[in-house]
Amino acid sequence: MNTPLHDAPPNDNAAPTPRGRQTREKLIDAARGALIEGEGAAEITDIARRAGVSAGLAYHHFGSKDGLLSAVVEEFYDRYVRVANTHFRGETWAQREAQRVQAVVRFFIDEPFTRTLFGPLGRSSAVVHAESRCMADLVARGARNIAQGQADGDLPRQADPQIAAAFVLGGLRQAMTLALLDDPNPDAEQLACNVWILIAQSLGLRVGSKS
């Protein structure tokens, strides 16, 4: 299921028109590019200019600069979810999860906005709040996945799925932050392997599970 985490409406109560959705997408793309170039700093007038629209139109769609920042963050995590929701093949839960970890680590490394979001932009209060909302959704998804691993017999049943998911996702974000800070272009396969080993151990993956 590739549904977006959030679908923020425009300021008025009417459903967005195709043209309105296109304008929103252009502004989000422009904001992402400006934030990457500005290392987390960007003015809404510059973003609007990049998108080829007026600053007033940007305020109409997002209400404020913080609203636009939140939309950029939410769009980033929407794309993350699409990657994580890929149908991975494998005989066991562990095999499928090892592939999922490899895919999301590759996403974080290949996506230029990751370095901005996990770096200077991550200190913005608007971004912190947006990430918190996205993380709550990701934890719920992760909890369902861990519960499936428990049902399959790969994971101990005594672990609380929601707490385990929060632990894994928070740890993954911090691990990616540190890895990208240490090396802007880390080896994706090696990093994914290290991350998966730590996740498997933290979840108490059964020794007999093939990964």
Name the pLDDT band for 31 (thresholds 50, 70, 90).
Answer: very high
| Separation CA 166–CA 185 (nearest Å) | 26
Instruction: Give, rounded to a whole angstrom, the gap between the first and last alpha carbons of the chain.
Output: 24
Q: What is the structure's pLDDT at 197?
A: 94
Q: What is the mean pLDDT of the chain?
A: 90
Query: What average pLDDT does range 16-24 have in this prediction?
Result: 89
pLDDT in tens, 98-154: 999 999 999 999 999 999 999 999 999 999 999 999 999 999 999 999 999 999 888
Q: What is the structure's pLDDT at 184?
A: 83
Is the model's pLDDT at 10 over the cut of 80? no
Query: What average pLDDT does range 182-204 have in this prediction?
Result: 93
- Please tell me which residue, 181 or 10, carries the higher pLDDT value: 181
Query: What average pLDDT does range 186-199 have in this prediction?
Result: 94
Q: Using CA of residue 135, residue 141, residue 144, residue 145, what is the dihedral sign?
A: negative
Structural domains in the chain plus CATH codes: 18-63 (1.10.10), 72-203 (1.10.357.10)
| Separation CA 2–CA 83 (nearest Å) | 9
DSSP assignment string, the chain: ----S-----SSSSPPPHHHHHHHHHHHHHHHHHHHHTTT---HHHHHHHHTS-HHHHHHHHSSHHHHHHHHHHHHHHHHHHHHTS----SSHHHHHHHHHHHHHHHHHH-THHHHHTTGGGGSHHHHHHHHHHHHHHHHHHHHHHHHHHHTTSS-TTS-HHHHHHHHHHHHHHHHHHHHHH-SS--HHHHHHHHHHHHHHHHT--TT---
Name the pLDDT band for 39 (thresholds 50, 70, 90).
Answer: very high
Q: What is the structure's pLDDT at 14?
A: 55
Q: What is the structure's pLDDT at 1?
A: 40
pLDDT in tens, 62-74: 999 999 999 999 9
Q: What is the structure's pLDDT at 207?
A: 47
Report the predicted TM-score, pTM, of the whole model to 2 decimal places. Answer: 0.88
Q: What is the structure's pLDDT at 211?
A: 52
What long-range pairs does 2-7 form, CB within 8 A, spacing at least 24?
2/81, 2/82, 2/85, 4/74, 4/78, 4/81, 5/74, 5/77, 5/78, 5/81, 5/133, 5/134, 5/137, 5/138, 6/74, 6/78, 6/133, 6/134
Is the model's pLDDT at 13 over the cut of 80? no
Query: What average pLDDT does range 73-79 have in this prediction?
Result: 97
Is the model's pLDDT at 156 over the cut of 50? yes
